[in-house]
Amino acid sequence: MTQKQIKDQLKLLQKIQPDTEYAKASKFEILYAPTKQGKFVLFMESLSSTVSMGLVVLFFVFIAIGGVATILRNPIFPTFESVNQRSLTAEANTINTETQTKLEEVSYLEDSEDKSLARAKAKEEGIQSELKEEEIDQLLNEAKES
């Protein structure tokens, strides 16, 4: 065959078109055919699962270490190092004493046989203290005027 005949033959072959059904079947077969995974893809998948498992193990190790450290720290070092036990005890005793005094006053008013006299006495003491304050105010006003 001459060169011209080869070119003519190629032009004829170029005009050949596949059947539509054949084209669809071929396209489907090419796209959905199982492919062989490369070594890199397999390596990345195994690396991914290894890293995930490592992170989970590391997380549990940190939780365990934190728990052990807290258990060991509490008996050795108190949580509030700056809190003084003596001052807390003194403050609690003061509060207890004040509360006991108030409770005794309430108990006196409730247990008194003559409740009206006890209440009247308490009211008089309140009025006397108000009078004393008024007297003090008068003396201050007189001192300011002088």
Using one digit for the tens of pLDDT, what is the confidence trace for 26-65?
888 888 887 777 777 778 888 888 999 999 999 888 888 7
Same domain for 104 and 137: no
Q: Which residue has the higher pLDDT, 19 or 134?
A: 19
- Mean pLDDT, range 110-136, rounded to an integer: 59
Same domain for 60 and 29: yes
Same domain for 120 and 104: no
- Number of structural domains the chain divides into: 3
Same domain for 94 and 67: no
How far is residue 34's CA from residue 32's CA, in Å, rounded to a whole number? 6
For residue 79, being part of any structural domain is answered with no
> Which residue's entry shows tokens 């008194």?
112
Same domain for 122 and 102: no
Same domain for 58 and 88: no
How far is residue 126's CA from residue 132's CA, in Å, rounded to a whole number? 10
Same domain for 45 and 31: yes
Same domain for 109 and 119: no
For residue 49, being part of any structural domain is answered with yes
Helix axes 115-145, 85-111, angle to 10 degrees: 120
Q: Which residue has the higher pLDDT, 83 or 107?
A: 107
Contact 119, 109 (CB under 8 A): yes
Containing structural domain, residue 36: 3-74
**40 CB neighbour count, 10 Å cutoff:** 8
Checking if the pLDDT of 126 tops 70, the result is no
For residue 50, being part of any structural domain is answered with yes
pLDDT at 53: 92
Same domain for 65 and 20: yes
CA distances from 43 to 35, 37, 131 (A): 16, 10, 95
What is the DSSP-derived secondary structure letter of residue 81?
Answer: T
Q: How confident is the model at residue 14 (pLDDT cuts 50, 70, 90)?
A: confident
Checking if the pLDDT of 25 tops 60, the result is yes
- Structure tokens that stand for 131 in this block: 């009078």
Same domain for 16 and 59: yes
